[in-house]
Amino acid sequence: MLLAIDAGNTNVVFAVFDGDEKRAHWRISTDSQRTADEYAVWLVSLMGMKGLTPTDIDAAILSSVVPSQTYALMKLTEEHFGCVTMRVGDPSVELGLQNKLLNPREAGADRLVNAVSAVASYPTPLVVIDIGTGTTFDVVDAEGAFAGGVIAPGPALSLDALHRVAAQLPKVDIAKPDVAIGRGTVAAMQSGMFWGYTGMIEGILKRIIAELSPDGQTKVTVIGTGGLVRLFAEGTDMIHHIDGDLTLRGLRLIHARNAAAN
């Protein structure tokens, strides 16, 4: 079985695949001080609840945008699962995806994994919106190549910054308000965040779509993923598909391609 690990700035997600089937997945908050042993205690316990043991795992793949945790997670798989980790971003790992960035090394592992997964499941050209700590718009052109994208602050990060720099503004939850006009401070902040962020999503998408399809004749597929995508999808009809497993499927696919080539 394959252990797939997606280490993001907010959460680290673990999934176990038996062939194409996802047997289970779990997430834990990202902590730059967490050790391989701490991950093991937590993960092995949860695996046991699903009838899985470390000896069931014979391969692992990691996508990480958190350098401080990359080593700990690779050590986890080597010491507690007995397998060497395939790491997205290592030159030896082939993605099967052309990267058209001026400096291809600048592309985050998570963005590339999402693009690989999206190309395998949806028609191109396409855009993947991943709403998390940051919000990324990853663009795949009609030829199936990673063409670049947009990076913006995530909703929670934006709200937290507003709370920290404005002394009289409270910390509020992200929610979709029933109306745009807030009748109090909390309602006004929630409206500004939700409708303002939805407007940003729609505005950026319109510009990307216009660049991908200048004549307006080519359909551009938009896929949403990430922890808050379902909430913001309620405010717009520009997101065609919501795919919570996009990154994990991409990791499984990349591992399968490279294992078959070796």
**Which amino acids are annotated catalytic?**
110
The vertex-132 CA angle with 43 and 72, nearest 5°, equals 35
Residue 109 marked as a ligand binder:
yes
Residue 141 marked as a ligand binder:
no
Give the sign of the dihedral formed by CA 176, CA 180, CA 185, CA 189. Answer: positive
Residue 37 marked as a ligand binder:
no
Residue 124 marked as a ligand binder:
no
Strand arrangement, sheet containing 85-87: 21-29, 11-18, 2-7, 59-64, 85-87
Residue 6 marked as a ligand binder:
yes
Letter string b/e over residues 120-139, b meaning 16 or more CB atoms within 10 A of that residue's CB: ebbebbbbbbbbbbbbbbbb
Residue 13 marked as a ligand binder:
yes
- Separation of alpha carbons 111 and 57, rounded Å: 26
Residue 225 marked as a ligand binder:
no
Q: What are phi and psi of 9, to 5 degrees?
A: -70, -25
Residue 90 marked as a ligand binder:
no
Residue 108 marked as a ligand binder:
yes
Residue 11 marked as a ligand binder:
yes
Binding site per annotation, positions for ATP = 6-13, 133
Binding site per annotation, positions for substrate = 108-111, 185
Binding site per annotation, positions for K(+) = 130
Binding site per annotation, positions = 6-13, 108-111, 130, 133, 185
